[in-house]
Each structure stands twice: as structure tokens, then as C-alpha cells.
Amino acid sequence: MSASTEVLVEQVSRTRIVTINRPEARNSLTRGVLAGMRDAIETAGSAGIRCVVITGAAGNFCAGADLKKNIQDNPSLFDNLETYISEYHAVIKAIVACKCPTIAMVDGAAVGFGADIALSCDLRVVSDNAYVQEKFVNIGLMPDGGGTFWLPRLVGTARAMKMILLGEKVTASELKELHIAAEMVPPNELRAATMKLAQAIEAGPPLAFEQIRRALYGSLGDIDAALKREFDGQLKLLRSSDAMEGVAAWMQKRAPEFTGS
């Protein structure tokens, strides 16, 4: 599948729908997907778009980074980790800097960096099959797409710690109870519910929405500083023996044996 078909961009009225289209890999992320998403989000403001919806194809939102594919495509990936992480961070920064409101339309898995993409959007509409899981810790890593920034602000420090330290799978009903999700609907109603919300945003004042987002996110603190902390922490972890063991165990489908080195 070419990069151009791995990210689908659709316009419905004044809403841009950006779909990660790698269903065979649960919409996990490659460098091509990241570039396509970033371009689709960054150009929305100059195209008269009033709302951006981010979603995944065929029953999953996004399963995070496609480690196998990324290593296969770039065997020297671990020699270029700074560039690699920066390409992921560029997508989060594009979502936050978007001139119009963003909605994550979540069906199935939003795992790892996929969870961070969903959390970085302004609103989330989920199917009752959806779940969010900051699964990084299972392979000896940490959230690196702003998860340590968004979750404490959305659910409080204690619950955020539980979700991140234990790699907790948070179901759709819990997402609704925690007010992470604006709405929860059956899968066959997900697009209609999301587009109804998008239409309400389309009809609203775009200049006011832009300033509201800027003021609200500014009041939360510095997302760039949070991403830098995650960048530095993740670099250390990716170069650790524990991370090598975690990735090897994941690929071999066994429990990892972490040594703290």
C-alpha cells in the first residue's frame, strides 16, 4: 500500500476527515503515515476547513507505532532516534496548533501513540467497542506523544498514574464516565454522531474557536515542554537494555524480564 493510500483525506461540507488506512496493521503508524497526517492537519486552516476529524479504518483507531515495519524500512532507526521521535511529535504539535477544533472518532483500539493522538484532540467520540491504552510500559517505555501532559489534566494525577504505570486498558464506558469521551455510541452510529458534532462546530464562530483553543491550552501549561520531557525520557529508555528486552519479548509473544538496566 502506498503512502498516499495509507492516509485518506475526505471533505464533508467544511469538515476534513483524516483516516489512517492501514487496517491490516490495526492502523499502526509508519513514517509515511505520520507525514500524511501532518500535511492533512496543517493544511486544513488554509483550505477553509472548520473542523478536523481524525480516525482509523475498519474498526480500529490506531495501534501506535509499527515497530516491525519501521525497523524493516529503516534498519538504522536506533541510530536516528531523535529524528524518529520528532516525526511523531510533529503530528501532535500539528493537532494542537490546528486553527480549527479537532475530533478523534475512535472505534476499537487507541493504543500507545494512537492513544496520545486521540487524547491530543479537542473532543473524542467513541464507539462502545473503543478503548484507550497507554501500553508503552509493557515494553519498558513511556508515553511520548503527550500522554503525560493530557491524562493528568483530563482525569487527575492518581488515575493518570494508574493508567500509565499499569498500562491500563480503559474501556469506552470508562472513557465516557471519566468525561474523556464526549459521546459513546454503537459502532454503526459512530460516524453519524461524530459528523453531527462536527456540523455544530462548522456552524460556530471560527475566529472565536481559534482563540478559545489557544487560551484554553495556554492555561494548561506548555505542551512543548512536556513533549521535550517525554523526548528526553524516551531516548534514554529506547537505549536501555530493558527496552531491547521489552521489544524482543513483544515480538516473541512472551513476558519480558526487566532488569533495570
What DSSP string runs through the chain? --HHHHEEEEEETTEEEEEE--GGGTT-B-HHHHHHHHHHHHTSGGGT-SEEEEEESTT-SB--B-HHHHHHH-TTGGG-HHHHHHHHHHHHHHHHH-SS-EEEEE-SEEETHHHHHHHHSSEEEEETT-EEE--GGGGT----SSHHHHHHHHH-HHHHHHHHHTT-EEEHHHHHHTTS-SEEE-GGGHHHHHHHHHHHHHTS-HHHHHHHHHHHHHHH--HHHHHHHHHHHHHHHHTSHHHHHHHHHHHHTS-------
How much is the pTM?
Answer: 0.95
User: Looking at the predicted structure, is the pLDDT value of residue 202 above 50?
Assistant: yes
Q: What is residue 152's predicted lDDT score, i.e. its pLDDT?
A: 97
User: Looking at the predicted structure, is the pLDDT value of residue 2 above 60?
Assistant: no
pLDDT in tens, 173-184: 999 999 999 999
Q: In Å, what is the CA distance from 15 to each residue of 101, 160, 183? A: 10, 31, 18
**Domain spans of the chain?**
3-186
Exposed e or buried b for every residue in 132-150, given b needs 16+ CB within 10 A? bbbbbbbbbbbbbbbbbbb
pLDDT in tens, 203-254: 999 999 999 999 999 999 999 999 999 999 999 999 999 999 998 998 899 9
Q: What is residue 1's predicted lDDT score, i.e. its pLDDT?
A: 39
CATH architecture under which domain 3-186 falls: Alpha-Beta Complex (3.90)
